[in-house]
Structure 1
Amino acid sequence: MASFHLIRYPDIGATRYMGLDRPVLRATGGLLFWRLLGTGRGTSMSLGADPRRWALLAVWRDEPALEAFLEHSPIAARWRERASEYWHVRLTPVTSRGHWGGVAPFVPSIPPSPPIRPASSLPLGLLSAREPDLPTDALPRPAAKGPSTPDGPVAVLTRASVRALRLVAFYRSIAAVDRELRESDGCLASLGIGEWPLVRQATFSLWRDATAAGSFAYRGVHHRQVISRVRAENWYAEELFARFIPYASTGTWDGRDPLR
């Protein structure tokens, strides 16, 4: 299982936590994969950053490991005590293609729904002939409290490591896609996130259902144009696409819980 945590602090001093939290996360039991992420000001990958808002994406061995983190970790305690806003959601992986830092971190826990398009048509050209997996003894266990069917809202993560020579073309294409995303029917919420400024970028989005997510991915004019250029011009050194079933959300994201 996985989880996504979005934290807004009252001041820009929160930047220091990006360094302070890393050794704590490395020592956290049951945490198999994690990324501390900055957030953008827009709904997708963009140049603007929000220094007060940060995110944690995590993969856990099981639900008890996440529960222990939320109850006992000093990081989670700080979120409760100092954050001006906090939103958290649990995620059951359904589909994942590609890599993040050379690893395929998301192991599908439930059968995916029939694909809207063949796998070769996944956004951003995320197919790979060979994917390095996590060690067998570190694979996450199926979520005990997660949904048993892929109906209803879905969460989508797209992540890319942009080649330096393609950065200008990449960012010139973002504005039109961002506008198309904001205007998409069925998009509940979306956020640009990233590890490194400019180069390693991602988007986390929530959708009413898989049909709505697929409609944007394959019917959006600007999005389709960007997909074609990504493949033709080899923009990305590494990329990943993952779809999840979100559940058990708590807190607020820009003043509301988009899943309620």
Structure 2
Amino acid sequence: MSNQTVSQVSTVTLLRFEGLNAFWIFAQMQKAPKILAKVPGLQFFKLMGSGGKNGFSKMLNVNIYALHCVWESESLADEFFEKSDAFSEFKNRTSELYTIYLKATRAHGLWSGTNPYETQAITPTGPIAVITRARIKLKFLPKFWSKVPSLGKKVDEVKGSIYSIGIGEYPWFMQATFSIWESYEAMHNYAYGNPLHMEVIKKTRELGWYSEELFANFVPYRTEGTWGKLDEQLQKLI
């Protein structure tokens, strides 16, 4: 749906854990969803791990996780991040934490059987964030992973790319990417101008690699916390 008065907002929180806290967060992958399911105003959420290097690797990164949430309103998101005991424990155990507030402008496909985003009629004039997500059919895993590491490496080299990371609910077959671009044009040029990326798109359509997939665009409009130099780069564009 598209509505200029939609109050729904999405957030992506990047979390870095070190030492023994890396074991704690690993255990939370099973425990936290039960707690998050009871949070007021939280319409949809995914707590995800990341891959090695920039996330586009079959090897796991035991230190970096991502919490993606869709909220009824920004005020309810703030209530959770500022006052929730559950999130306070996450925050106290991280060595670095960064939340990006987003407004969905385009979304198609399904994630766990639903499209959680209410899109808004906003024309992006600055940076744009993208979430892609897919459940890969088991028989196509070797083909998928023969392409993705090279594809992920190339993203970091593309003009206009600010940040990208490969994340997922379960290793290897339930994958998502989160990326931030200087502009819609930069994202579009990569998506449709990169030969390797176009080859992957073609194969997924021809062979039906995915049993479920989703693609969504967002306008980032607010940030909290730090993540290396990412916030400095993003704040110049917001």
Cα drift, residue 187 of structure 1: 0.5
Cα contact 1:180–1:220 (8 A) shared by 2? no
The equivalent residue for 2:5 is none
Q: Secondary structure at the match of 1:238?
A: strand
Alpha-carbon contact 1:43-1:181 (below 8 Å) kept: no
- Give the conservation status (yes or no) of the 8 Å contact 1:161–1:236: yes
Aligned to 1:94: 105
Q: Which residue type is aligned with residue 193 of structure 1?
A: I
TM-score, L = length of structure 2: 0.89
Shift of 1:38: 0.6
The residue that corresponds to 1:25 in the other structure is: 36
Which residue in 1 is equivalent to 2:222? Answer: 248
Give the drift of 1:202.
0.7
Return the letter of the residue paired with 1:19.
Q
TM-fit CA distance, 1:175: 2.5
Shift of the 245–224 alpha-carbon distance from structure 1 to 2, 3 Å rule, reads: same
Q: Cα deviation per residue 1:24-47 (whole Å; 9 max; x = unaligned)?
A: 101100000001101112335431
Give 3-state SS (helix, strand or coil) of 2:125's partner: coil
Which of 41, 52, 58 is the aligned partner of 1:47? Answer: 58
Q: Alpha-carbon deviation of 1:190? A: 0.4
Alpha-carbon shift at residue 255 of structure 1 (Å): 5.0
Equivalent of residue 2 in structure 1, options 1, 7, 10: 10
**What runs of 5+ residues in structure 2 fail to find an aligned partner?**
1-8
Quote the residue 1:132 is aligned against.
none
User: Does the CA contact (< 8 Å) of 1:45 and 1:202 recur in 2?
Assistant: no
> Larger deviation: 20-29 or 83-92?
20-29
Higher mean C-alpha displacement, 74-83 vs 172-181: 74-83
- Aligned partners of 1:42, 1:96: CA distance in 2, in Å? 28
Query: How much is the aligned-residue C-alpha RMSD, in angstroms?
Result: 1.4
| Deviates further, 12-21 or 57-66 | 12-21
CA contact (8 A) 1:100 1:240 kept: yes
Q: Secondary structure at the match of 1:259?
A: helix
User: 8 Å contact 1:79–1:86 — kept in the other structure?
Assistant: no
Aligned-residue identity in percent: 33
Residues 157-236 of structure 1 mapped to structure 2, 5 A cutoff? 157-236=131-210
CA separation in 2, counterparts of 1:53 and 1:5?
Answer: 11
Contact 2:50 2:168 in 1 (8 A): yes
Question: Could you tell me which residue of structure 2 aligns to residue 79 of structure 1?
Answer: 90
Aligned residue type for 1:211: E
> For the Cα contact (< 8 Å) 1:180–1:222, is it kept in 2?
no
Match of 1:34 in 2: 45
Partner of 1:68: 79
TM-score, normalised with respect to structure 1: 0.82
Q: How many residues align?
A: 223
Does the 8 Å contact 1:42/1:192 carry over to 2?
A: no
Give the whole-Å Cα distance in 1 for the aligned partners of 2:141 and 2:10.
30
Shift of 1:207: 0.3
Q: For 1:207 and 1:43, how far apart are their aligned partners in 2?
A: 16
1:238 matched to 2:222: no
| 8 A Cα contact 2:163 2:230, kept in partner | no
Structure 1 unmatched ranges of 5 or more: 114-149
Residue type of the alignment partner of 1:9: F
d(CA) in 1 for partners of 2:84, 2:118: 25
**Runs ≥4 in structure 1, deviation > 4 angstroms?**
none
